[in-house]
Each structure stands twice: as C-alpha cells, then as structure tokens.
Amino acid sequence: MATKMKLIKLTITADDNPLTWTPEKWAQTIGSRVAVGYFITGRPSQCITLYLQKTEDVKNGDDIVSQHHLCLAFMQWIDMLSTKKNAIMFKNPPFEAWLMTKLEWCRAQARKFSKQFDRDFDECLSNVYMTITNCYNKGTIYMGSLFYLEKAIRNDFRKEYNFWHNRITGETCGIIALDAKVNAGDGDDKPMCYHELIGACDKYIEDKEFECTKEELCGILKEEFSQREIDQIINCTAGFLPASLYRRLNKWRKENRREYYGY
C-alpha cells in the first residue's frame, strides 16, 4: 500500500535557497524520498513547501522534481517578484497522492454540504470529488489552497441546487433549461430542445481557428526567437520557461503590449 506524502516547509534566505543548495544539501533535505511537487511563495514570509514521496510509490517518472527543476522555478519566481509582489510558483503533486492526504477533509466537506442542502452523503462526496478533480485538471489552481477548493465546492452545490429548485418551482422564469422542448416551426415539425436550435460549437472550426492563430503567432515570434525557443514558449511542458527565455519573452510582451494586446 502506498504511503502518504510528506510535506516539509523551508524558509528562504539570501544564503539558503535552491540556488545555493549543494547536491549534498538537497539529498539531506529530501532524505530517502523524492520531491513530486512544490509551492514557492513570499506570503507571509518567503518559503518553499516541498511534497515528498517514496520512490517506489511514484508511478510516473515525470512527476519527480529534480534540484535543477526547482532552481529554474525559483529563478522564474524571483523574476516575477519584480512585477508582482504576491507572485507564487507551484507544481501540484500527483492527484492520487495528494488525494490520499485529504480523504478526511473531503468527507468533512461532504458531511457539511449534505446537511446544508439536505442531500445524501455519498452523493455529496461524489460531487466533492468531481469538483476537486476539475480544479486539479485545470492546472492553474494550487491544490494546497483548501480555502479556494471549499469555495469551488460550495459554488457547484449552489449552482446545482438553484437549477433544480427553479425546475421544480418555476420561480425564476427568466431561466430556461437547454433541454426544454420548443416548437421548431409550423406544421408537423417535431418539438426540439433549445440546445438543438442553438447548436453546439463546431470542433473542426475551433481547431482550424486555433491553428490559424498559432501560425500567425509563430510568424510574429520568429522575428525575435528561434524555432526551438518558440516551441518551448508554445508547448511549455515543464510548466515554466528557462530563466533567460522568460526574461526575453517578458521584455517582448512589454514592448509590444499596445500593438498586440490593445492596451
């Protein structure tokens, strides 16, 4: 059975940070485990939170955070501080490993909203897991922010409650369910749903527009960046850019803000 992750919080100073750590210091910090996530912040004090997991419990080697990876993230965080005082950098740990540490919290949320909305506990627990999964999959939400996750869960419960309350009572006449039937026209035409009349997004058109935008963007970036750098900017599989490339891209954005961003 997989063991739970271990969290350690390290204070950042000018003399003690990822850029000054030796390989021996890094090995001493993580011990017999490997880092699978991190959170770098300056609030209320500058510190790094590391998520550590046993090597045998890591299912995907790409989840492991090396010392070099952390150094690059730390340098980008320092650059971000010049424009944003509350800047953060993070890499969420693997979802299953993170969830193992929050099972009791999830059950507590389900119990609370089960009483508040008079719903079955198991149904509420399923909804809690669904909201959390959606938040994680976005990739832009730090999963250590339980306050944010609780708000997201509450909002989803309220949205579902308001929808069904309106369906039952009909109090909010301005709200129309997209699966409601409506006559498509005169004659013997069968009733259609609103969403059938409105129509769904054409995936082909969306993909085509994206490719056109991507091609135009690449053409603009070629004036300042190499093809390899453009691939790094567009794909950004590591979640951050190398420090030197990040600085150049940030400078380019500032110089071309009015032309390409409209402000």
Residue-wise pLDDT tens digits, 190-209: 666 665 655 555 555 566 77
Residue-wise pLDDT tens digits, 89-108: 999 999 999 999 999 999 99
The predicted pLDDT at position 164 comes to 73
Say if residue 35's pLDDT is above 50: yes
Full-model pTM: 0.66
3-state SS string for the chain: CCCCCEEEEEECCCCCCCCCCCHHHHHHHHCCEEEEEEEEECCCCCEEEEEEEEHHHCCCHHHCECHHHHHHHHHHHHHHHCCCCCCCEEECCCHHHHHHCCHHHHHHHHHHHHHHHCCCHHHHHHHHHHHHHHHHHHCCCCCCCHHHHHHHHHHHHHHHHHHHHHHHHCCCCCCCCCCCEECCCCCCCCCEEHHHHHCCCCHHHHHHHHHHHHHHHHHHHCCCCCHHHHHHHHHCCCCCCCHHHHHHHHHHHHHCHHHHHCC
The predicted pLDDT at position 173 comes to 53
Percent of the chain with pLDDT over 90: 46
The predicted pLDDT at position 263 comes to 41
The predicted pLDDT at position 159 comes to 86
Residues 143-149: what's their mean pLDDT?
92
Residue-wise pLDDT tens digits, 176-195: 656 666 665 555 566 666 65
Residue-wise pLDDT tens digits, 222-256: 888 888 888 888 777 666 777 788 888 888 887 77
The predicted pLDDT at position 65 comes to 94
